[in-house]
A and B are shown apart, each in its own frame.
Chain A
Amino acid sequence: MLAVRVLGTAAILFVLSIIVFSMLHLAPGDLVKTLLGTRPASPEAVAAIREQYHLDDPLPVQYLRWLGGVLSGDLGESIRLQTSVSDAIAARLGLTLALCGLAFAIALAVGVPLGVQSAVRAGGVLDRAGTTLGVIGLSAPTFAVGLLLLYVFAYYLPIFPVYGGGRGPLDTLYHLVLPAVTLAAGLGAIVLKLTRTAMLRELDADYVTSARARGIPESRTRRLALRNAAIPIVTGASLLLTFLVGGTVLAETTYALPGLGTLLQDSVLFKDLAVVQALTLLVALVIAMIALLADLAYLMLDPRVRAQGGAA
């Protein structure tokens, strides 16, 4: 089963690489002009560009050459930054990863316990408060939450910095708190909903009744239910990571963070095609990997699926 999934992921990535490659040719406007950027379009420069990008070769040859470069880490040159794309990405990757990781951790740390408590006392004060918060978190746009938090916690109560990525690990973390909370609002709301629904179902299951009926303490019973609910929560939450990919562009823009999100935004505006291609491919790769990991987590959490996977 797992082998099939890995092969499937590989196939999806192959198709995506073709699409990403075609972006170059599908982009509106003259290709050479786009590649020239702000340089003057003298005949020599045009010839040089055609030579550099092998534009006179047949398309499949161009694709294979591009793919070979991608696989060996050569993602091309950024016209806007005048550096190699891999350097541009490497310089900003850390910040985005830290932002996503922090946001995800906050979402889980708040969403799961709140979801469990909401389910345990369904209809109670906490449940209703949680549901209200969830609706707000889910429906408020990321940039609006970002602006609101900026106004309250950076301007009105100047606890957190207004913009920038900070220097050194601690300072960076400090700078990332508000953006991470902004991202975590929507994410945590979904985690809360997922956990509540899964826990409600598990608490209603026979094995919970059976555990209660033989005098097993409530705390243990809840852990028992949560362990069973973990299957839908983990698979659901890992797919939520993909939600972060879009969200990070908005959060980074709002807080002017030098991460991949702002890089993508700037590159799209400047038609910096090599960077857009690389980032699109990176996002696709990350999403495919997350989906694969979600399957692995499912395998790890459910012994029944594990047994079937072993047999097939």
Chain B
Amino acid sequence: MTGIDVAIDGIDGPTGPMVAAVAFGIEPGASLALIGESGSGKTLTAKSLVGLLPNGFVARGVLRVDGRAHPLDATDASWRRVRGREVSLLLQDPFTSLSPVHRCGPQIAWTLEAQAGRRLPKRELDLAVAKRLAEVNLPARVARAYPHELSGGMRQRVAIAAALASDPRLLIADEPTTALDASNQAEILDLLRALQIERGMAMLLISHDLGLVRGRTDDVLVMRHGEVVERGATATVLSSPEHAYTRALIAADPVLAIEADRHDRPDRPDRPDRPGDALGHGADIGVSGRIPLISATGVVKRFGLRTVLDGVDLSIAPGQVVGVVGESGSGKSTLARCIAGLEREDGGSIVFDGRPLAPGRRSRTPEQMQIVFQDPYSSLNPMMTIGAILREALAVGGRRPEEVPALLELVGLPADAAAKRPAQLSGGQRQRVAIARALAPRPRLLICDESVSALDVQVQAQILDLLGRLRDELDIAILFISHDLAVVRRIADTVTVVWQGRVVEHGTCAQVLDEPSEDYTKLLVAAARRDSTGRTTVA
């Protein structure tokens, strides 16, 4: 009997059962996708299969690898014999899954030595490490590099090489591309698929993104609240989902939803004076007669010797949503921070409503602009209630504390949320609080720095709808920073593409994303399109 056979009877946490019974099998050389939103128990399932559940969690059941049975509640000592040679786990975030103070070579070498059970001669080890790096399409010199010297995609390749160096029968990849840019995501997933087939290894790919697994796994398993709601061949489940939840997941997927969105958009009651739509080819909005709310000209920012922003121009009209896209390190967040006054630009000018703003926070008032950050888990003070957080923000804008319920209603939160603390809210609810806090002083510009990137697709869609509604209701301008083209397309009127600290392309959403004229934009669009292999279009 070959292959992987998993029979989990249940996983219990300190507060009760977390995952119900789930059973699945994976043939050697086949792959299975486990789909579910955060909190659905998929990461616990993954960790239970390597015996690394957090303290206080217990799994019951059995893992069979080629007929060898490994009880899930075995002692750590017996799990050590299973980890590596039978099962290996690839983690989500390549920025934290490699030790920052060790070079990449040794980190791969440790797996090799653990597998051999003895120290290996240096020459032999160097050759073996180079071979493993070549397998993930990395040059041998990467072995000498520290993780921080590599890009996210390269780090995840190193992590893959390290995880596969033990030649496991089963590789569990837990959201292996969530922390990566769009252009890297497809490459990493394709690499994993190729390695899995080449080695005749079984793979369990865990993801919250149903779109990403299309064409990359043989079967799919959809989980919700710790229970399996649907399973089947990947192509079948995606084309004809049976469970309502699977259908909702597909509908919420921004890449999938784009097709529909393109048809929806013209039907939406559009305001005639939407400047971004009226203007062509990235012309300066100020020229067309309407004064921009904010315009940045030739903004330069250096960190040490590194030039992060190299003369960036950007302008936003009142009530307009401008998307800024680019990969991490492109300078898009720095631009947002310069505009918000959180970083002091080294050159260029930023003009708000006709008046120039000096660099830094002191020259800005809360009523001018507010920022919503990426991570709603760390941007709210965990010790304060939501009501206290919002009262503080209202006071900053000179408003009265009685307006808290109205503010909560504005962002679609129930009034009783005021008494809760951030830890009692979900990620989406927290981001709503962060948005409410930003709106409290009635700013004219809202800066969203990757504000939906940390959220699950469904929640992402809700927050995007909320932002769109707020723009229409409050006539607020939004600067929307994101690495995700699909998300930007959903909300922005015009798009500015930033690469290596420069603006490479600017125009309306349709122009830039449907008919990109610059090579770099084409690359980005193509990468986003590859994500949705099998689907008709992204752009």
**Residues of A near any B CB (own CB < 8 A):** 205-207, 209-218, 220, 224, 227-228, 231, 301-304, 307-308, 311-312
Q: In this assembly, does B39 line the interface, its C-beta being within 8 Å of a C-beta of chain A?
A: no
Q: In this assembly, does B149 line the interface, its C-beta being within 8 Å of a C-beta of chain A?
A: yes
Which one of A210, A212, A217, A311 has the greatest number of beta carbons of chain B within 10 Å?
A210
Looking at the complex, which one of B96, B162, B163, B168 makes contact with A206 (CB distance below 8 Å)? B96
Which chain A residues border B93 with CB–CB below 8 Å? 206
For B69-113 the 0/1 string (1 means CB < 8 A from A) is: 000000000001001110111110100111111100000001100
Looking at the complex, which one of B50, B100, B304 makes contact with A308 (CB distance below 8 Å)? B304
Looking at the complex, which one of B83, B100, B305 makes contact with A213 (CB distance below 8 Å)? B83
Smallest beta-carbon distance B291→chain A, Å: 40
What are 26 contact pairs spanning A and B, CB under 8 A? A206-B93, A206-B96, A207-B96, A207-B98, A209-B52, A209-B97, A210-B89, A210-B91, A210-B159, A210-B163, A211-B110, A213-B52, A214-B163, A214-B165, A214-B166, A215-B84, A215-B115, A215-B166, A216-B111, A216-B114, A217-B114, A228-B99, A301-B101, A304-B100, A307-B149, A308-B304
- Give the distance in Å from the alpha carbon of A213 to the alpha carbon of B101 in the complex: 19
- Give the distance in Å from the alpha carbon of A213 to the alpha carbon of B97 in the complex: 11
- Give the distance in Å from the alpha carbon of A213 to the alpha carbon of B110 in the complex: 12
For B37-80 the 0/1 string (1 means CB < 8 A from A) is: 00000000000001010000000000000000000000000001
Which chain B residues border A304 with CB–CB below 8 Å? 100, 146, 148
Residue of B nearest to A304 (CB): B148
Which chain B residues border A210 with CB–CB below 8 Å? 89-91, 97-98, 159, 162-163
A-B contacts besides A207-B97, A214-B83, A214-B89, 13 pairs, CB < 8 Å: A209-B89, A210-B159, A210-B162, A213-B163, A214-B88, A215-B88, A224-B102, A227-B99, A227-B102, A231-B101, A307-B146, A307-B148, A311-B305
Q: In this assembly, does B306 line the interface, its C-beta being within 8 Å of a C-beta of chain A?
A: yes
- Give the distance in Å from the alpha carbon of A125 to the alpha carbon of B80 in the complex: 24
B52, A212: Cβ atoms under 8 Å?
yes
Smallest beta-carbon distance A253→chain B, Å: 42
A216-B99 contact, Cβ under 8 Å, with A210-B159, A304-B146: no
- Give the distance in Å from the alpha carbon of A231 to the alpha carbon of B100 in the complex: 11
Looking at the complex, which one of B80, B90, B96, B159 makes contact with A217 (CB distance below 8 Å)? B80
- Give the distance in Å from the alpha carbon of A220 to the alpha carbon of B115 in the complex: 13
- Give the distance in Å from the alpha carbon of A181 to the alpha carbon of B66 in the complex: 58
Smallest beta-carbon distance A200→chain B, Å: 12
Which chain B residues border A214 with CB–CB below 8 Å? 83-84, 88-89, 111, 114, 162-163, 165-166, 168
Smallest beta-carbon distance B453→chain A, Å: 19
A215, B148: Cβ atoms under 8 Å?
no
Smallest beta-carbon distance B339→chain A, Å: 25
- Give the distance in Å from the alpha carbon of A308 to the alpha carbon of B88 in the complex: 34
Looking at the complex, which one of A205, A206, A215, A224 makes contact with B111 (CB distance below 8 Å)? A215
- Give the distance in Å from the alpha carbon of A205 to the alpha carbon of B93 in the complex: 11
B304, A215: Cβ atoms under 8 Å?
no
Could you tell me which residues of chain B, from 162 to 189, have a CB within 8 Å of some CB in chain A? 162-163, 165-166, 168
- Give the distance in Å from the alpha carbon of A211 to the alpha carbon of B99 in the complex: 9
Residue of A nearest to B172 (CB): A213
Could you tell me which residues of chain B, from 289 to 336, have a CB within 8 Å of some CB in chain A? 304-306
Smallest beta-carbon distance B54→chain A, Å: 9
Residue of B nearest to A230 (CB): B101
A303-B101 contact, Cβ under 8 Å, with A210-B163, A311-B306: yes
Question: For chain A, what secondary structure do more than half of its interface residues adopt (helix, strand, loop), or is it mixed?
Answer: helix
A311-B98 contact, Cβ under 8 Å, with A214-B83, A216-B110: no
Residue of B nearest to A210 (CB): B97
- Give the distance in Å from the alpha carbon of A299 to the alpha carbon of B111 in the complex: 28
Residue of B nearest to A224 (CB): B99
Smallest beta-carbon distance B530→chain A, Å: 27
- Give the distance in Å from the alpha carbon of A211 to the alpha carbon of B110 in the complex: 9
Smallest beta-carbon distance A88→chain B, Å: 45
Smallest beta-carbon distance A180→chain B, Å: 32
A213, B89: Cβ atoms under 8 Å?
yes
Which chain A residues border B50 with CB–CB below 8 Å? 212-213
Smallest beta-carbon distance B431→chain A, Å: 24
B101, A220: Cβ atoms under 8 Å?
no
Smallest beta-carbon distance B87→chain A, Å: 8
Smallest beta-carbon distance B82→chain A, Å: 8
Smallest beta-carbon distance A204→chain B, Å: 9
Smallest beta-carbon distance B178→chain A, Å: 13
A206, B101: Cβ atoms under 8 Å?
no
A220, B110: Cβ atoms under 8 Å?
yes
- Give the distance in Å from the alpha carbon of A211 to the alpha carbon of B168 in the complex: 14
Which one of A214, A218, A303, A307 has the greatest number of beta carbons of chain B within 10 Å?
A214
- Give the distance in Å from the alpha carbon of A227 to the alpha carbon of B100 in the complex: 10
Which chain A residues border B305 with CB–CB below 8 Å? 311-312
Residue of B nearest to A208 (CB): B99
Smallest beta-carbon distance B204→chain A, Å: 13
Which chain B residues border A213 with CB–CB below 8 Å? 50, 52, 83, 87-89, 91, 163
Which chain B residues border A224 with CB–CB below 8 Å? 99, 102, 110
For B480-503 the 0/1 string (1 means CB < 8 A from A) is: 000000000000000000000000
Which chain B residues border A206 with CB–CB below 8 Å? 91, 93, 96-97
B80, A215: Cβ atoms under 8 Å?
yes
Which chain A residues border B159 with CB–CB below 8 Å? 210
- Give the distance in Å from the alpha carbon of A147 to the alpha carbon of B168 in the complex: 61
Smallest beta-carbon distance B40→chain A, Å: 20
B97, A303: Cβ atoms under 8 Å?
no
Which chain A residues border B111 with CB–CB below 8 Å? 214-216
Which chain B residues border A301 with CB–CB below 8 Å? 101
- Give the distance in Å from the alpha carbon of A42 to the alpha carbon of B163 in the complex: 87
A212, B304: Cβ atoms under 8 Å?
no
- Give the distance in Å from the alpha carbon of A301 to the alpha carbon of B99 in the complex: 13
- Give the distance in Å from the alpha carbon of A12 to the alpha carbon of B260 in the complex: 66
Residue of B nearest to A309 (CB): B304
Smallest beta-carbon distance A131→chain B, Å: 18
Smallest beta-carbon distance A194→chain B, Å: 17
Smallest beta-carbon distance A114→chain B, Å: 22
Which chain A residues border B85 with CB–CB below 8 Å? 215
- Give the distance in Å from the alpha carbon of A220 to the alpha carbon of B119 in the complex: 12
Residue of B nearest to A303 (CB): B146
- Give the distance in Å from the alpha carbon of A227 to the alpha carbon of B106 in the complex: 13
B83, A212: Cβ atoms under 8 Å?
yes
Which one of A206, A210, A213, A231 has the greatest number of beta carbons of chain B within 10 Å?
A213
Which chain B residues border A220 with CB–CB below 8 Å? 110, 114
B80, A205: Cβ atoms under 8 Å?
no
Which one of B101, B159, B304 has the greatest number of beta carbons of chain A within 10 Å?
B101
Which chain B residues border A231 with CB–CB below 8 Å? 101
Identify the 4 closest CB pairs spanning chains A and B, nearest first: A215-B84, A213-B89, A206-B96, A215-B83
- Give the distance in Å from the alpha carbon of A218 to the alpha carbon of B52 in the complex: 13
B97, A215: Cβ atoms under 8 Å?
no
Smallest beta-carbon distance B28→chain A, Å: 19
- Give the distance in Å from the alpha carbon of A215 to the alpha carbon of B165 in the complex: 10
Which chain A residues border B149 with CB–CB below 8 Å? 307
- Give the distance in Å from the alpha carbon of A220 to the alpha carbon of B117 in the complex: 12
Residue of B nearest to A212 (CB): B52
- Give the distance in Å from the alpha carbon of A245 to the alpha carbon of B218 in the complex: 68
Which chain A residues border B304 with CB–CB below 8 Å? 308, 311-312
Smallest beta-carbon distance A157→chain B, Å: 42
Which chain B residues border A217 with CB–CB below 8 Å? 80, 114
